[in-house]
Amino acid sequence: MVGQRFRYSRWDGTQQGFELDAYDVMGELADDLMYHGDPMAALRRLMQEGFEDRNGERISGLRDLLRQLRQEREERLENHDLGGVYDEINNELNELVADERQALDDRNALAEMELADPDTGPDNVRNAELAQETTAAKGMQLDMLPPDLAGKVRGLQNYEFESNSAQERFDDLLDRLRQELVNQQFSQISEDMANMSPEDLGRMKDMMAELNRMLEQRANGEEPDFESFMDAYGDFFPNNPQSLDELLEDMARQMAAMQAMLNSMTPEQRQQLQELSNQLLEDMDLNFEMSRLGQNLQQMFPGAGWQQSYDFSGFDPLGLADASSMMQELGQLDQLEQFLQQTTSPQALAEADMEQVRRLLGDQAANSLERISEITRMLEEQGLVHNREGRLELTPKGLRRLGQQALGELFRRLSPDKLGKHEMDAAGIGHERNYSTKPYEFGDPFNLNIERTVGNALRRSGGGTPVALTPDDFEIERTEKQVRSSTVLMLDLSLSMPMRDNFLPAKKVAIALHALISSQFPRDYLGIVTFSETAQKLKPSELPGVSWDFVYGTNMQHGFMLARQMLANQSGTKQIIMITDGEPTAHLLPDGRPFFNYPPARETVNETMAEVVRCTKAGITINTFMLDPDSGLRGFVERLTALNRGRAFYTNPETLGDYVLVDFIEHKRSIIRGR
């Protein structure tokens, strides 16, 4: 890009490198893809387990996040006690009653001083006596306050305070309790309404009545006028809900949290709070409209958690406002847990409220969810997978990448002296240009390089036309020496392969071998035959999806037959590479039906060896790689090798890839050397 400049600095350990790309994700998915062949299943497992990015940073999977979520919930329940909802209000009432009693005592003491003074006039005596009667009556009224919270509030509402400060504290407490009770049910209401006047509370009653009317309209099949509702009452909702459903869902969630708090209280606490709510909201008919709205919402959103309850076992008492906030958080934790448990694909995680996740579980959890939600999109954008009718499938590019990863993994395990480089140094007669030239010698193919030949003549003659050519001017193009080999890989898919943990290593070798041949030896042929009770041909593009058969039987005879037929149409040296962990236990009968017997029947062994003889006559070498061979397999392979003059390798799942790749490349080298 013109004008774009870059600045580089020495690495000092503080710079943040690359984090994650589609190829990293493929690396994480590789074993799952090779084992099961289902990209979506592999992505689901990655989503559940999590992984590390290239910087070593842990990307938490859903199992980690669900574990963290449950710990967060348990921590809240084990540290707090809902009894504080009742105690906080009761203690404040007791404090202001104590203030009032002190004011009464002070007035009574002043009256006694007046009466004790001989200079006190008759009018002042009557006033002092009246004050004593009043303070005594008020003291008795305070003594007669009901012990329950709602009764105490009702008694004080009908009481004429002596102390102005106690009166103010009581009025402030009632206003605050009304506000908190309303906020518990409608936390999304604007903070501008935090100190609602009686007029504001009246509007709230009208707002809830209108909501109830709209719900009844919807129940009758009518479409409510949501825009008019928001024009009239939108100042109550700063979050600006875009639809009636969005607004009602938020309200249902909040009212269900309030109900969950009541469910979590002791019967005494629950009764105290409910009676208090009735007492404070009854005068403005708020309680009726709120109850009506709650019933309507419960019918509309039965799954919002109305029956939920929590077992608080801590000692830190929660006040009413703190309890309301705690119940909201617990409800959000429950909803997040349900969402994560029901999520079946990484891209669905994008629907989570990341800010809420960040608030509940922290930045690391939110970042993990965001990054996991992007991995399917990354793979699709890079062309490694594509969505076909709702199902994710590997693309040819994805298959190549999977093969390259398997190949790279196997090569990294090989020591240099075992494998060495793979370049071919020999050059000679062939058809592929290697873009270098040489002077012509007798016997060389006359692949004349015109540019170099004319240039030689001009340098020799000094220029001018016509250009006279001599044999010394001739320069020909070099060509690479081309050799071709044809290979069929026979892969055992009998039930013993996964039972002995041999399936994944064998399949990984098949994918790696395909990658090696298609990238390094593109003129070579690779066919694939799988065998269990019967055998079948397999296209390389079908390799990722191949799995074992849930049947008994190791039908090498049918596998050799198909491999021989496939190689009959190929040129060059021909070989079969067979990977197996068992001796032949099945063969095809003349009518095409499979015959199985264990231990191997003599007829099965004879039919298999007869097919080996046909392969040998066709010039096909059979190289066998035995995984954890028992004596029966060893004996059979020794007979096969003696008859075919191929080779046998005794290996295990950890070293299988080493053996196969080294042998294949050595086989190519021997062909090039003309052996």
Say if CB 480 and CB 430 are below 8 A apart. Answer: yes
Give yes or no for residue 93 having a pLDDT over 50. Answer: yes
> What amino acid occupies position 616?
T
Residue-number span of the structural domain to which 359 is assigned: 22-55+334-393
Total number of domains constituting the chain: 4
Using one digit for the tens of pLDDT, what is the confidence trace for 249-273?
888 888 888 888 878 877 777 777 7
Q: Are residues 585 and 633 in the same domain?
A: yes
Give the rounded percent of residues in the chain with a pLDDT score beyond 70. 84
Supply the pLDDT for residue 186. 59
Using one digit for the tens of pLDDT, what is the confidence trace for 467-510?
878 878 888 876 555 567 889 999 999 988 888 888 888 888 88
Q: What is the DSSP letter of 82?
A: T
Say if CB 178 and CB 201 are below 8 A apart. Answer: yes
Supply the pLDDT for residue 674. 56
Task: Specify the 3-state DSSP secondary structure of 454.
Answer: helix
pLDDT band, very low/low/confident/very high, at 550 (cuts 50, 70, 90): confident
Q: Are residues 493 and 604 in the same domain?
A: yes
Most confidently predicted of 42-56, 440-454, 467-481: 42-56
Q: Which helix (H) or strand (E) holds 574?
A: strand 573-580
Between 188 and 26, residue with greater pLDDT = 26
pLDDT band, very low/low/confident/very high, at 305 (cuts 50, 70, 90): confident
pLDDT band, very low/low/confident/very high, at 657 (cuts 50, 70, 90): low
Distance in angstroms (rounded) separating the CA atoms of residues 310 and 188: 23
Give the range among 419-428, 555-564, 571-580, 662-671 with minimum mean pLDDT: 419-428
| Boundary residue ending a domain (289, 309, 330) | 330
pLDDT band, very low/low/confident/very high, at 528 (cuts 50, 70, 90): very high
Q: Are residues 563 and 536 in the same domain?
A: yes
Q: Which helix (H) or strand (E) holds 122?
A: helix 122-143
Most confidently predicted of 287-296, 376-385, 558-567, 626-635: 558-567
Encoding tokens for residue 259?
Answer: 């109900």
Beta strands in 521-572 (DSSP E): 525-531, 535-538
Residue 652 lies in a domain: yes
> What amino acid occupies position 148?
D
Count of C-beta atoms within a 10 Å radius of residue 72: 18
pLDDT band, very low/low/confident/very high, at 669 (cuts 50, 70, 90): low
Supply the pLDDT for residue 661. 65
H-type alpha helices, 220-304: 226-233, 244-264, 267-281, 286-300
Q: What is the DSSP letter of 448?
A: B
Supply the pLDDT for residue 619. 93
Residue 121 lies in a domain: yes
Q: Are residues 508 and 640 in the same domain?
A: yes
Give yes or no for residue 419 having a pLDDT over 50. Answer: no
| Boundary residue ending a domain (308, 330, 352) | 330
Supply the pLDDT for residue 596. 94
pLDDT band, very low/low/confident/very high, at 597 (cuts 50, 70, 90): very high
Q: Are residues 225 and 313 in the same domain?
A: yes
Residue 533 lies in a domain: yes
Give yes or no for residue 29 having a pLDDT over 50. Answer: yes
Encoding tokens for residue 538?
Answer: 């397999």
Supply the pLDDT for residue 412. 63
Give yes or no for residue 455 having a pLDDT over 50. Answer: yes
Give yes or no for residue 612 having a pLDDT over 70. Answer: yes
Residue 65 lies in a domain: no
Distance in angstroms (rounded) separating the CA atoms of residues 640 and 57: 52
